[in-house]
């Protein structure tokens, strides 16, 4: 779920603006960093898990960094199919007794929830936990807007790694990722559901804006959009972002000490920006990540 935070600032006079240096050109691809320690190097790449067709992000410097790595490290290894995850999902998400889904939100939201479940064809949700209802609505809306996990960054990176026979590792299992949601209190789960309902309106435009920021490497703007998701629930941010960033930073620091060569680590772009980001956690451990920029295109020779 992505909430839009629009900031419009108009500062100074025309002469002052004219005298100011022009900002450097924005990078044409998503942001990538590297952090080194002796003969060990980790490339960090921020991802979007689902993408529509036609997003041209897999450029030469990303391909080269992956191909030169000893392993691809993802948040979790993409499942072969959604069906393969169903036993785990049902075990974690199903209630022992039904509870009306409409009772999980304040009365002002009940009409919206009922309409959206009908529009997105969720089927009966009374037997499922509140976090699962929220994720189901968000995922179905994403699919309706042309977003496809099969086109997402992790899927593309994993396919390339298989072709190049690069080992694939995971920081977490898919079950662990679901457990994060399942561990939330019912109050936090209900806030998650309310946020999901709020974000369904204009969801495609919001996602398009986020992808634009990601493609241009605008990490600050991306952080604003991502952090707005957690305004209602600091606990959700701590569990889904801050705690995981700390664990991943510890994993990377350990890998830099023990594993010579290059590792390509790809995690959600929201983890790379804002206060408490993965980059901040690495810096707290004495590791500074440097931005990697693509090589400039070759200059055309002037005709003689």
Compute how many other C-beta atoms are within 10 angstroms of the C-beta atom of residue 275: 8
C-alpha closest to that of 160 among 84, 87, 59, 238: 59
Higher-scoring residue by pLDDT: 299, 151: 151
Q: Per-residue confidence at 235, pLDDT binned at 50, 70, 90?
A: confident
Please check whether residue 119 lies inside any domain of the structure.
Answer: yes
With respect to residue 227, please indicate whether it lies within any of the assigned structural domains: yes
Whether the Cβ atoms of residue 55 and residue 215 lie closer than 8 Å to each other? yes
Instruction: Decide: 216 and 26 in contact? Cβ < 8 Å.
Output: yes
For residues 93 and 181, what is the distance between their CA atoms, to the nearest angstrom?
A: 10
Residue with tokens 């030169």, as numbered in its chain: 68
Q: How many domains does the structure of the chain reveal? A: 1
Q: Cα–Cα distance between 155 and 157 in angstroms, integer? A: 6
pLDDT digits (tens, 9 = 90+) for 47-61: 999 999 999 999 999
Say if 303 falls within a structural domain.
no
Domain membership of residue 3 (yes or no) is: no
Q: What is the distance between the alpha carbons of residues 276 and 253, in angstroms, rounded to a whole number?
A: 16
Any domain includes 300 = no
Residue at 1 is within a domain:
no
Asked whether residue 188 is domain-assigned, the answer is yes
Q: What does pTM read for this prediction?
A: 0.85
Domain holding 263, by residue range, is 26-291
pLDDT in tens, 171-203: 999 899 899 999 999 999 999 999 999 989 888
pLDDT-derived band at 300 (thresholds 50, 70, 90) equals low
Evaluate whether residue 15 is within a structural domain. no
C-alpha dihedral sign at 124, 126, 129, 135: positive
């Amino acid at each position: 779920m992505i909430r839009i935070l629009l900031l419009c600032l108009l500062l100074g006079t025309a002469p002052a603006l004219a005298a100011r240096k022009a900002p450097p050109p924005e990078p044409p691809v998503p942001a990538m960093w590297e952090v080194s320690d002796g003969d060990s190097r980790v490339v960090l790449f921020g991802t979007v898990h689902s993408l529509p067709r036609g997003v041209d992000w897999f450029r030469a410097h990303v391909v080269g960094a992956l191909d030169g790595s000893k392993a691809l490290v993802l948040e979790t290894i993409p499942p072969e199919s959604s069906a393969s995850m169903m036993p785990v999902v049902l075990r974690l998400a199903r209630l022992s007794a039904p509870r009306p889904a409409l009772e999980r939100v304040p009365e002002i939201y009940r009409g919206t929830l009922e309409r959206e479940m009908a529009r997105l064809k969720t089927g009966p949700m009374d037997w499922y936990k509140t976090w699962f209802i929220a994720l189901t609505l968000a995922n179905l809306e994403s699919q309706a807007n042309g977003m496809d996990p099969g086109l997402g960054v992790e899927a593309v990176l994993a396919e390339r790694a298989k072709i190049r026979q690069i080992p694939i590792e995971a920081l977490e299992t898919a079950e662990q990722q679901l457990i994060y949601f399942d561990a939330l209190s019912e109050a936090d789960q209900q806030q998650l559901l309310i946020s999901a309902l709020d974000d369904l309106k204009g969801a495609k435009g919001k996602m398009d804006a986020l992808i634009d920021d990601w493609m241009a490497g605008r990490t600050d703007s991306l952080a604003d959009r991502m952090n707005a998701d957690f305004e209602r629930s600091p606990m959700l941010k701590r569990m889904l972002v801050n705690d995981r960033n700390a664990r991943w930073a510890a994993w990377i620091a350990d890998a830099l000490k023990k594993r010579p060569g290059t590792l390509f680590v790809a995690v959600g772009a929201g983890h790379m920006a804002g206060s408490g980001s993965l980059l901040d956690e690495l810096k707290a451990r004495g590791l500074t990540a440097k931005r990697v920029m693509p090589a400039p295109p070759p200059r055309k020779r002037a005709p003689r």
